Structure 1
């Protein structure tokens, strides 16, 4: 029976002409290892990097315990290489950033970098504390007010680590939240007010907010305006450091003083 459907000739065109460009990572391809519990770092990095044509961000997640203790932080060391390996395999990365401030101090920056190099020998490595030290030097700051969400034993380790690198910490403050899932919910106003309170101490040159869970990027300029002093945080400093390590020197004053500064040539 005639269905009334007119069959048309099927056309299958293969090997259509095309050209290749450099893709969305024409200037830099950045890798970021994010804590499994982290709610903040990707949000802040994407805000900062929006509008940077040719800069692409790729992430993987690393398992961590939500309870922040020296033991749970140290346990991440064995997982770093595998997490770096799954970020865009087969394509070179300019930078791999490890997104945990306190773990980088407990493991040690060189320990983190060694694990990154196992998987991505072509990439430069950074951590939040590595980036913070680079930021302090760019600011010309020596005496740092530090704000964290951590409990006391982690705080003591943070202060020792910073002071061992020839920076002074005359003022230290903490929200004492050992649960990373709660730390991410500390509101921006609380962070801003605490940073301003600590930074007002006349003995300090700059403020550092430690922890990738804490939201600072959108109020960095506001805090700086209140203090007349530079401010940075784990996410803020590491985004800047990753860009500068990758050769991206764009000035981004919206995000505060740091994003108007270069990285010195000996730090690249």
Structure 2
């Protein structure tokens, strides 16, 4: 077990990790100098980035609670990131204490932290896997009995697909999950959006991610919409983050996040 501020021996603490940089943006402490430096370069151009990050977390929790209240009892958080309270399992279990939650991430530090946090929590599991290999992930989920694909599940891809390139085909990745989950399942997606984003801040974020394991890919809203093909998009569709939090007042931010929620019939 690693101690706070200590990395597993296999982790290169001189290479940017998007999960750790996001942790820093959200006010967390599980990050290193390279992550803080990268985040600060973007914050210098988009000072409201932390507010945007927190709003995206609220969207994740809002969708989780909505689906739990609708009767969904399984939650699959792919690209979960470093634990930030409240978490998906806390939100889901506030509605049903028996809700099952699986956190998935390919970052070894995320996996280490999630395992430490969830080690004694029955029905809440952390696994190390990559969305870019959906068949392997789906097989593990089914074989280990972590998700019952005969029952509805909420699949969360929050703040993930801007770390997946066009060549890696996010729409096809989502389709693999769509084809496997039961009717009544929901999917929630958000990612950095070209439309309305400040050019300088967008360029800086793309620049600093070039040498990371996952270069940043901003997309237009009409490029994000096909990720929901085969689902029924819920109102208001694929829109800016503030419209996904209609009971909050979120001023326009320098960088924009767009997304939506959809249901499988």
TM-score range, shorter chain: 0.3 to 0.5
Q: State TM-score, norm by structure 2.
A: 0.40
Q: Which has the larger radius of gyration?
A: 1
Q: State TM-score, norm by structure 1.
A: 0.39
**More helix as a share of residues:** 1
